[in-house]
Structure 1
Amino acid sequence: MTETAAAQQRGVRLPRTERRAQLLAAAQRVFSANGYHAAAMDEIAEQAGVSKPVLYQHFPGKLDLYTALLENHVDELVARVNEALASTTDNKLRVRAAVGAFFDFVASETGAFRMIFESDLRGEPVVQEAVDRATTECVNAITDTITADAGLDEGRARLLAVGLVGLSQVSARFWLAHHSTMSREEAVSLTATLAWRGIGGGFPLQHTPGEPA
C-alpha cells in the first residue's frame, strides 16, 4: 500500500466487520513476510492504513491478532476438506478431492498454511490449540467418511484418516518448496494414487452409493 493510499484510508470509517477483515489481511501480509516474532504492530497498522489506536481497538495485542487470523485459516482448511468429501460419492474421486484440498490450501498466495503447519509460535497454548484443531477436524471428517463407506470401526478408520491427512499436507508442502516444474494436477494425482491404492485396494466400498448402508 502506498503512503498516499494509506493516508486516504485513515480518514475513512468502515463498518466493524470490514475494518476487521482489512486488519486481518494486513496482518497476514506482515506475518507471512516476517513471522510472528519479527512482526510489529506498527507495520501492521501502516499496511492497513490505520492508526495504532484503531488497530488496538479491534485487537488488544499482537497475539490476539495472530490467533484470530490463525483461527480463520483453520476454518478455511477444514471447510475445504469437508467440501471435497461432500463433492462426490465415488471414493476414488473423493480421495483425490481431499488431497487436492490440501494442495490448494498450501498453494494459496496468502501463505496461510505456514501459520498452521510451520508456525514459530507453537509454544503458546492458544496457538497450539488452533493448530491441533486443524488436524483434528480434518481427521474427524475423513474418519466419518471411511467408517460409513468402508465398514471399518472408528479406531481403524481414524488411523487411516490420520495417514491421509499427514500424507496430503506433507506432500503438498514438499511440492510447493521443491517441485516448481511439476504441475499441481500431477502432484495431486501422484499423491492421491498412493493414498487410493492403500485405502481403495485394502478397504473397498461396503455398499453401492445411494443405497442404504
Structure 2
Amino acid sequence: MLVKNHLKSVLTSLFMLNIAFTAIPMSLALVYNKFDNEFESHTRLNIYFLGFTLGVFMRQTLKAPYKLNNRLNLIIWTTVVLIMGGITFVYKFVQLLVHDGFIYATSFFILLRYFWGLSLCWVIYACHNGYGGIVNTFLTLPPFVFLNKLTYCMYIIHILPICTKIFKIRTKMYIQTDETFNLFISVYVVTILLSILWTLAFESPIIIIQKHMLRKK
C-alpha cells in the first residue's frame, strides 16, 4: 500500500539509486585504474536495482499498463535491437581493452551492462503487456517455456558442473572456439538435468505448499 500511494516517489528513488550505482563504480574504476578485474560485484548493483525498479513498476501498473501506439512501439523495439546488437558486437573488444590496461574499459563495461539490462527490461515489459510481437511468439515456444521453469534452479546450481569440469583439468588448455563450445554444451546439458531433479525435489513442492498456505479461505 505504501508503494502504491507513493509510486512516483519510490520510482524516483530507485532511479536515483540506479544513477548512483552506475556513477560510483565508474568513478572508482577511473581512480583505481590499475585494477583490471571487470567482474567486481559492486559494478553490477545498477543491474540489480534496475530489475528491482522494473518489478515495482510492473507490479503497481499490473491492472492499468501504459498503452503504446504502434509507431512508438516500433521505434522502441528498433532502438533496443540496435543497442543489443551493438553491445554484442563490441563486448569482446572492450573485454580485451580491460586486459590491455585501457583505463576507461571498466567504465565501458559498466555502461554496456546497464544498457543491456535496460534493453532486457523493455523486452520483459513489452512481451508481458502484448507489445512483443514475433519476439514474444519466439520466447513462448514450448522449449523456452520448459526452460523458463528451470531458470532459477539453473542459476543456483550451474556453478557445480562448471567447477567439476574445470577442476579436473590437469594440463594447459588452449582456448579455441570448438573447445569452448564443447565445454559450454557439456556444462549446459548437465545443468539442465540437475535443475530438473532440483525443481521436482524442492522448488515445485515448495510452490504448491505456498499456494495452499496463502489461499484465501
TM-score using structure 1 length? 0.29
TM-score using structure 2 length? 0.29
